[in-house]
Chains A and B, each alone.
Chain A
């Protein structure tokens, strides 16, 4: 069964450093998303991406964040200068927009720890 994959599973970084989280969405999907989940809290939307551009973003997704689809398979989230409060689980999701309801399939997540 096709699945979304994410690397690395755990990333530890120092405050102020740049990190890039990688995702490989399901191959025939066209819509891509990043969410985050701070430990013990709800899943929060960060950004959606379609046709090589951001289609929607939340207040959390400020200038420190960027997304990119550098090739036909990868989808990345970059945090330019990490803060302690960026520590969270980051989930990538993808959708084929079946029936227009964007049923989203999530990856296993990358746990980001900022020290």
Chain B
């Protein structure tokens, strides 16, 4: 069964610190890896995404690092802010899929002021 394993389940970071969330997968036929941010009572919102032909993608304070050989990818949030407190989901899409995203279990991030 295709799976995306996400860790940690929860994370507490001080304001200004770096938040790191990790994901690992088994299916080598994944071709798209988005990260979603979800606030309570809201739907997941696309934060940043990467394709397996690059090892890193940065957008503002958010960076995805991708290690194809290890089948791992991670989200780094630099200079974490209390407004970043949310649940973060990594996801993956299988090549040839019609958009079926397989989500990780989520990481609840709390950034303390």
Which residues from chain A sit less than 8 Å from chain B, CB to CB? 4, 31, 33, 35, 41-45, 48, 50, 55-56, 58, 91, 93, 95, 101-109
Chain A residues whose CB sits within 8 angstroms of the CB of B99 once the complex forms:
31, 33, 48, 55-56, 95, 102, 104
Chain A residues whose CB sits within 8 angstroms of the CB of B66 once the complex forms:
none
Interface of A is mostly: strand
Question: Is B98 a contact partner of A104 (Cβ separation < 8 A)?
Answer: no
Chain A residues whose CB sits within 8 angstroms of the CB of B44 once the complex forms:
43, 91, 106
Interface range on chain B (Cβ under 8 Å from partner): 20 to 34
Docked pose: A105 CA to B99 CA in angstroms: 12
* Least CB separation from A95: chain B residue: B99
Question: Is A42 a contact partner of B104 (Cβ separation < 8 A)?
Answer: yes
Which residues from chain B sit less than 8 Å from chain A, CB to CB? 31-32, 34, 36, 41-46, 49, 51, 89, 91, 93, 97-106
Chain A residues whose CB sits within 8 angstroms of the CB of B104 once the complex forms:
42
Minimum CB–CB distance from A40 to chain B (whole Å) comes to 9
Minimum CB–CB distance from B96 to chain A (whole Å) comes to 10
Minimum CB–CB distance from B57 to chain A (whole Å) comes to 13
